[in-house]
Amino acid sequence: MRTSIRRARGLARRSFHRFRDTLRTSHDSGEIDALARLIPAATCIPLSGADRCAVRYFTQHRFDLLGSGWVRVHYGMQCRGFEGIVFEPARVDEAQLARRINSRNRELAGAVRAQLPAGYRPIDWHLDFKSGYRWSENTWYRDIRYGDVAGVDVKVPWELSRMQHLPDLAAAYTTSQDAALPAEFAHQVLDWIAQNPPRFGVNWACTMDVGIRVANWLIAFDLFRAGGAEFAAPFERALARSVADHALHICGNLEWSETRRANHYLGNIAGLLFAAMYLPPGTRTDTWLLFAARQLNVEAARQFLDDGGHFEASTSYHRLCAEMLAVCAAFLSRVPEQRIAAAFSAARAGAIPSGPGLSRADVGDLQAHYERTGAVLTPLFYERLGRAAELTRNLTRSDGSVPHIGDDDAGRFLRVGGWVDAGTVASYRARHRNLEGYAELTDDAPYPVQSRASHQQWLAWASAVLGRDDLLDDRQAETSSAAAALATAVAKPAALARAVTARSAAPASDESESAASNAPVQRLSSTLRADGGDLFANTRYDSYPLFGVYIVRSDRVHLVIRCGYALRDGAGVHAHDDQLSFDLMIDGRPVTADPGTYIYTPSGTWRNRYRSASAHCAPSLTGPSSDTGRAIFSAPAVTRGRCSRFDSGAFVGSLTTEAGGVQRTILFLADRIEVHDEYRLHAGWRPASADLFAPAEPVPFSPAYGVQQIQ
């Protein structure tokens, strides 16, 4: 009943807002005073040569997003399209951009755009610049449609409009003092505000992206000021007003559900928290601050399992969500105590129009905890964060990378630095598909890439928040030094954070399930031999049965076995059909690897190929049925793998499919690794491959969303 009432109220509220936005401006915030400062003055962020090259490209409006290659984004640009599908971009007269805005917002948009210099070339924020498909600036955000046109990826304009490149500009300024950098920051923010009035266009359609954008704006702005930059008063007013507009939008469009909410909702909360921390104190902002802090506690306990793993069964979404927790905790530690103490009196219960709301009891509980401990985040929050960091640390291979498990859409909350030199444009293109025809750069130009497989940057935030120096890998300092410098400058570890200790050993096995049936037994075995001494000398065995990984680490071997429950979030949409698969590296060289994700909405065929069992080193079967018509955001066909043994001698796990039962045994021997599969299958079914160290239907390795490596 409560759910039905909430939905009815939400529908009525949306109808009211749609009608209202046709009658007057959708900017609701009014004038805002100066934004707070949380980053200490004189903070300096070291950047590598690759970092500085990326910054130079950003100032030229070049972006490398979701497999695009480094491309300059502007109105009327040429686009290659996905697998030959091209939509000719709408021809837009840059001098008449204001005409594309709905009439009630044109005056303010024009005033904002008037702050831009005459030579500034606008960015087309509404374009999927990989396909050429374009959304209208004049469409109300709830009426935006996506995912229904082949070859089109709404994530492209969303990713660009997260504006996660702006903190890199600010970081570069802290050491270079190049006056062009704060100017470019201001110009891009003004450009975005002018062409994206609240609640109109594709970039307001996903609240998570709204939250990530406003957080990155505020961090970049504050870091510029910490480095000594000064901005014109009209720009600061426009920025502050838009920050409030972002917060109002988030507050009214929380991606919350009583039963199914995950990384999107956490992104909402993180963005709202940043807006509340930086906006001036008051009834509205103090309510946002306490609501967001409370929801961080709730979602840390809900989304992160007892063993530290994120419940969406994906290492990349684990990074995204844990990074949100760590960065929020770091900046929250900088909010003055008097601001938080005063908020308990100023906050108004019931002032959150969507989501779970904020009750008087919620405020009272949070206040009691704060008065008792001096912190708004709970011991359980820090415990979950610490265990999440330990999981990432143990998943990290000797080359600094973390195996792909489940979906990877390149999602991050905050990137600072972390770019690495990938050679020249020509050499990078020669090793990767899908990049031809984009970059206007010469073949000998440098090609920096974000260290996407490294999770060291988020660990830098966890290390600073928890006051722990055992989480980062010193050998990977190049990818984490910039993030570590900012995190160390910002975070003030609370007593509760310092009290967090290493997790106790997780249970070594899940409940076992026999694969026995009346079906005949089929057995397959494969062996991998290795010279050079004992493979498993000095081995550590780490089990994370709730997240669903079992890790074997020795001087020579890094082995990750996937076995667990894929529906702990109630949906499983980011889990793959990878039960009992394994990712193996020996002597720093990959033997088997998860293929990655490659793509979401542009191609259902590719999407399903990459997440299928046959693309993994998993037991894959062939028989009477097929899932070629499967929805791209559906749960995996096999949602549970069960471990019955994990010790220094072997891993034994089993699963049940529509075809019957499978048991996989992996033996850890001094000179070899053996894999034995036992099948009890129904008539018409058989194993798809006899080589258990290779996928039945391999696909090109996808190191990042939208990218395929050439074999």
Q: Over the stretch 236-249, which tens digit does the pLDDT of each residue have?
A: 999 999 999 999 99
- Helix (H), strand (E) at residue 687: strand 686-687
Of residues 324, 345, 227, the one with CA closest to residue 270: 324
Q: Tokens for 591?
A: 């033997």
Residue 672 main-chain phi, psi, to 5 deg:
-165, 165
* CB distance 146 to 154 below 8 Å: yes
User: Burial letters for 384-393: b for 16+ Cβ neighbours within 10 Å, e otherwise?
Assistant: bbbbbbbbbb
One DSSP character per residue, 403-457 reads: ---S------S---S-EEEEEEHHHHHHHEES-TTT--S-TTSEEEEE-TTB-HH
Rounded average pLDDT over 659-666: 97
Q: Where are the alpha helices (DSSP H) in 178-310?
A: 180-195, 207-226, 233-252, 263-278, 283-303
Arithmetic mean of pLDDT, 384-396: 97
Q: With contact defined as beta carbons under 8 Å apart, do 286 and 277 qualify?
A: no
How far is it, in rounded angstroms, from Cα 374 to Cα 372?
Answer: 6
Binned at pLDDT 50, 70 and 90, residue 474 comes out as confident
Tell me the pLDDT band of 32, cut-offs 50, 70 and 90.
confident
- Mean pLDDT, range 117-125, rounded to an integer: 95
Q: How confident is the model at residue 434 (pLDDT cuts 50, 70, 90)?
A: confident
Q: What is the mean pLDDT of residues 352-361?
A: 93
CB atoms closer than 10 angstroms to residue 258:
9
Q: What is the pLDDT of residues 517-575, one digit of tens each?
A: 577 899 999 999 999 989 999 999 999 999 999 999 999 999 999 999 999 999 999 99
Residue 142's identity, in one-letter code, is R
In 3D, which of 281, 178, 275 has the Cα closest to residue 218? 275
pLDDT at 495 over 70: no
Residue 514: pLDDT over 80: no
Whether residue 511 has pLDDT greater than 60: no
Of 1 and 146, the one with more pLDDT: 146
Give the highest mean pLDDT range of 4-18, 437-451, 485-499, 691-705: 691-705
pLDDT (mean) for 79-85: 84
Please compute the mean of the pLDDT values over residues 634-648 and round it to a whole number. Answer: 96
Q: Tokens 């090259």 belong to which residue?
A: 53
For residue 172, how far is the Cα from the chain centroid?
Answer: 23
> What does residue 157 show for φ and ψ, rounded to 5 degrees?
-65, -35
Percent of the chain whose pLDDT exceeds 90: 82
φ, ψ at 663 (rounded to 5°): -120, 130
The pLDDT, as a whole number, for residue 88 is 80
Give me the pLDDT at residue 500, please: 56
Q: Place 505 in a pLDDT band, splitting at 50, 70 and 90.
A: very low
**Cα torsion for 403, 407, 413, 419, to the nearest 10°?**
50
Q: Taking 80 as the threshold, does the pLDDT of residue 494 lie above it? A: no
Q: What is the pLDDT of residue 447?
A: 95
Residue 499's pLDDT band (boundaries 50, 70, 90)? low
Residues 64-88, mean pLDDT to the nearest whole number: 89
CB atoms under 10 Å from CB of 457, counted, come to 27
Average pLDDT, the chain: 92
Q: Give residue 705's pLDDT.
A: 95
DSSP annotation of 371: H
Q: Which of 230-244, 420-434, 502-516, 613-627 has the lowest mean pLDDT?
A: 502-516
Q: Which of 326-335, 428-437, 454-463, 545-554 has the lowest mean pLDDT?
A: 428-437
Per-residue confidence band for 26, with pLDDT thresholds at 50, 70 and 90: confident
User: 119-128, 268-277, 472-481, 537-546 — which is least confidently predicted?
Assistant: 472-481
Partners of 622 in the β-ladder: 686
pLDDT for residue 15: 80
Residue 663 in this model has a pLDDT that exceeds 80: yes
